[in-house]
Amino acid sequence: MSTPLLIAVLLLLAAAAFEFGRRRALQVAGPEFRTLHSLPRYYGSYTALWCALPALILLGAWLAFEDKIITILVIADLPAAYQSLSEPELNLIVNDLRNQLSGNVVSRELNLDMQAAVKHYGSLRATSKAALAVIFLSVAMLGMGLAWRKIAPDFWARNRVEAIVKVLLIICSTLAIFTTIGIVLSVLFESIRFFRAVPVFDFLFGLEWSPQTAIREDQVGSSGAFGAVPLFAGTLLISLIAMLVAAPVGLTSAIYLSEYSHPRFRAAAKPLLEILAGIPTVVYGFFAALTVAPLIRDAGTNFGLDVSSESALAAGLVMGIMIIPFVSSISDDVINAVPQSLRDGSLALGSTQSEMIRKVVLPAALPGIVGGLLLAISRAIGETMIVVMAAGLAANLTVNPLEAVTTVTVQIVTLLVGDQEFDSPKTLAAFALGLMLFLVTLALNVIALYVVRKYREQYE
């Protein structure tokens, strides 16, 4: 039986187990069903969990180790001549065996020994499959039976079920943590490889970014320069422009929506504003590249300025529009969270509404607003698509927003797109950049969280 089929059967069994457990509980209790320690459905859940969980664990372990064990067995049965081969060569042979078995192309003619091995491999696989099905279903039945037998009026099924559910919750919550750790570690190790080729100092403080490395020894002019400063400068420049757009517009719109607007207008305008956050960034990207950038270039020409058709300004402006909802939505929530009693207190002293907003509401909401701004900044720093399309790829070290610049994320994309060798510094640089970017946004997020938490202690 195939694995999906096995799981389907198991689910059916578990459903049956639930019903068996429930009935058993009612049956053992008889007319005194109120004396049951737990509700009947807990006895059902207990039986179902005992039926499904051990079998699933077994299935997982089996699928993880099946292939390795079969390979070891096949190699052990190969004639002695093969046993002395080195490990890569053995791997090649095993690969051929597998390909032959599943009908794919093989790299060589198979001799008699090999054909025997293929047959052996095939039979082992078939046996394993059959054994798995039998053992899997028996474990499920056994688990169900054991749980079923335990059911008694004074058996604490609810506590057991809740303990199991708690363990499942813990596993799920740690899953995300371990994934994060895994990503960080993989980026970290690749970065260490990169820093073996390029000194950390050159990477962090180098002023030139030109990641073309020589593929052949005799190639000229592509020695590669991995100074990350222009990239981070470009990132900062574009993020700064974006925040110059998003912070004032987002904040004032939040103030208007939460303090001045009619509730009906707010109910309509807030979701509309949040739609901005739902537009795919690639759409913003071509809006920036095809509409805003030419507009800026033409406007610049009228003023006698030399504007390149891909400029930091275009990308920054559009990115600013994109993150307005982050600023306005969070600020709006935070401003709304300022207690009405503070507003009343201020109004009752004869303050105007604007005095109340400036002197009481905004100071009370400020830490939360700062938290929202920081989240928007980390969003801006991580943004890629708009910059790829509107700001260009040239790693200029400049503060002039009318020139083309590039950002960390854009360079990571271009480094990894196309055919790449995974041991050249050019490719590995992407991981180093990723690590740096991760550290920067992490720091910003930590600051944001810290500020937001501090804000919670403000009143109450």
Partner 1 sequence: MLNQKQAVLLERPAKTNDVLPSAPVKIQDTDTKTVGQVTVDKPIMTTRNVDVYYDDKQAIRNVSIDIAYNEVLSMIGPSGCGKSTFLRCLNRMNDTIESARVTGSIELEGHDIYDKKTDVVTLRARVGMVFQKPNPFPKSVYENVAYGPRIHGLARNQSELDEIVETSLRRAGLWDEVKDRLREPGTGLSGGQQQRLCIARCIAVNPDVILMDEPCSALDPIATARIEELIDELRQNYSIVIVTHSMQQAARVSQRTAYFHLGDLIEVGETSIIFTNPQHKLTEDYLTGRFG
Establish if 187 lies at the interface with partner 1 (CB under 8 A).
Answer: no
* Residue 191 beta carbon to partner 1: minimum distance, rounded to whole angstroms: 44
* Residue 351 beta carbon to partner 1: minimum distance, rounded to whole angstroms: 5
Q: Which of 63, 268, 363, 450 binds partner 1 (CB under 8 A)?
A: 363
3-state secondary structure of 405: coil
Residue 297 CA to residue 287 CA, distance in Å, equals 14
Establish if 459 lies at the interface with partner 1 (CB under 8 A).
Answer: yes
Closer by beta carbon to partner 1, 366 or else 393: 366
Q: For residues 59 and 140, is the Cβ–Cβ distance under 8 A? A: no
Closer by beta carbon to partner 1, 342 or else 397: 342
Q: Which of 7, 101, 133, 342 binds partner 1 (CB under 8 A)?
A: 342
Establish if 268 lies at the interface with partner 1 (CB under 8 A).
Answer: no
DSSP 218: T
DSSP 325-342: HHHHHHHHHHHHHS-HHH
Q: For residues 274 and 285, is the Cβ–Cβ distance under 8 A? A: no
Q: Return the biggest CA–CA distance within the chain.
A: 100
Q: Which of 4, 103, 263, 280 binds partner 1 (CB under 8 A)?
A: 263
Establish if 352 lies at the interface with partner 1 (CB under 8 A).
Answer: yes
Establish if 67 lies at the interface with partner 1 (CB under 8 A).
Answer: no
Establish if 199 lies at the interface with partner 1 (CB under 8 A).
Answer: no
Q: How many CA atoms lie within 13 A of 395 on its CB side?
A: 22
Which residue, chain included where needed, has tokens 């058993």?
A: 24
Instruction: Pull the structure tokens for residue 47.
Output: 């039986």
Q: Which of 347, 393, 397, 447 binds partner 1 (CB under 8 A)?
A: 347
Establish if 341 lies at the interface with partner 1 (CB under 8 A).
Answer: yes
Q: Which of 132, 357, 364, 432 binds partner 1 (CB under 8 A)?
A: 364
Closer by beta carbon to partner 1, 350 or else 418: 350
Which residues in 261-296 are b (16+ Cβ under 10 Å) and which e?
Answer: beeeebeebbeebeebeeeebeebbebbbeebbeeb
Establish if 454 lies at the interface with partner 1 (CB under 8 A).
Answer: no
Q: Which of 81, 105, 348, 417 binds partner 1 (CB under 8 A)?
A: 348
Residue 439 Cα to chain centre, angstroms:
16
Q: How many CA atoms lie within 13 A of 408 on its CB side?
A: 28
DSSP 209: E
Closer by beta carbon to partner 1, 208 or else 344: 344
Size of the site for partner 1 (CB under 8 A): 21
Residue 414 Cα to chain centre, angstroms:
21
Q: For residues 427 and 211, is the Cβ–Cβ distance under 8 A? A: no
Establish if 360 lies at the interface with partner 1 (CB under 8 A).
Answer: yes
Establish if 165 lies at the interface with partner 1 (CB under 8 A).
Answer: no
Establish if 456 lies at the interface with partner 1 (CB under 8 A).
Answer: no
Establish if 345 lies at the interface with partner 1 (CB under 8 A).
Answer: yes
Establish if 339 lies at the interface with partner 1 (CB under 8 A).
Answer: yes
Q: For residues 404 and 392, is the Cβ–Cβ distance under 8 A? A: yes
* Residue 314 beta carbon to partner 1: minimum distance, rounded to whole angstroms: 41
* Residue 226 beta carbon to partner 1: minimum distance, rounded to whole angstroms: 49
The CA distances from residue 270 to 205, 371, 380, 440, in Å, are 44, 20, 21, 31
Closer by beta carbon to partner 1, 31 or else 350: 350
Establish if 130 lies at the interface with partner 1 (CB under 8 A).
Answer: no
Establish if 355 lies at the interface with partner 1 (CB under 8 A).
Answer: yes
Residues that bind partner 1 (CB under 8 A): 263, 339, 341-352, 355, 359-360, 363-364, 458-459
